[in-house]
Amino acid sequence: MPSWAAPHKQRLSPALMNDELRELYQSVILDHSRKPRNFGELHGEGCVHVHGDNPSCGDEIDLFVKLDGDRVTDIKFSGQGCAISQASASMMTQKIKGKARAEASAMAGVFRGIITGKDRQPEAEDEMGELQLLEGVQHFPQRVKCAALAWRALEQALAENAGDVTTEEPA
Ligand code: ZN
């Protein structure tokens, strides 16, 4: 098991991160922000488009979720922003694609726990894979918003509410 998959033994706060973990964090975040997965747009039947912005950092996202019945059959995003916002969105699309709506929504809750440090669900966190690397942002409130942006958009899309979300409003 890679070291990042056992965050409960090794807290990922930057102060406590060992060099290996810090390197992994940086390489994963940079890789996803430079080569975002599922980057693009989706249009047509069953597609919900949500625009999200995080004015405190300048991050923007356009999230496109295709729902077929109770399943997220496709998901893409476009946008611009800091490495954390882009990497979080990229990893999110990989994790959510193909999931049932309830499962996707539950994952959004688990991820919120990881990045805020509140209402954590340790038993569900291993499922989140590389997204656990973002745990360290909980020490930096501005960065929490960057990591949360794509997921706020996801939750709105899962509720089939097209439109805008902003990190300036409480979840
Ligand atoms: Zn940001």
Residue for token digits 């940086």? 26
pLDDT less than 50: residues of the chain: 1, 3, 5-10
CA dist 10 and 19 (Å) reads 12
CA dist 109 and 72 (Å) reads 17
What was the pLDDT predicted at 14?
53
Cα of 45 vs centre of ligand 1, distance in Å, is: 31
Domain boundaries, the chain: 38-166
Cα of 50 vs centre of ligand 1, distance in Å, is: 18
Cα of 163 vs centre of ligand 1, distance in Å, is: 20
CATH of region 38-166: 3.90.1010.10
What was the pLDDT predicted at 66?
97
Cα of 80 vs centre of ligand 1, distance in Å, is: 9
CA dist 95 and 38 (Å) reads 11
What was the pLDDT predicted at 8?
46
Total-model pTM: 0.88
Half-sphere exposure of 163 (CA within 13 A, CB side): 7
Two tokens, residue 132: 């656990």
CA dist 160 and 66 (Å) reads 10
Half-sphere exposure of 11 (CA within 13 A, CB side): 9
Q: What is the pLDDT of residues 46-94, one digit of tens each?
A: 999 999 999 999 999 999 999 999 999 999 999 999 999 999 999 999 9
Cα of 68 vs centre of ligand 1, distance in Å, is: 31
CA dist 105 and 111 (Å) reads 10
What was the pLDDT predicted at 17?
63
Helices (H), strands (E): how many in the chain? 5, 4
What was the pLDDT predicted at 6?
45
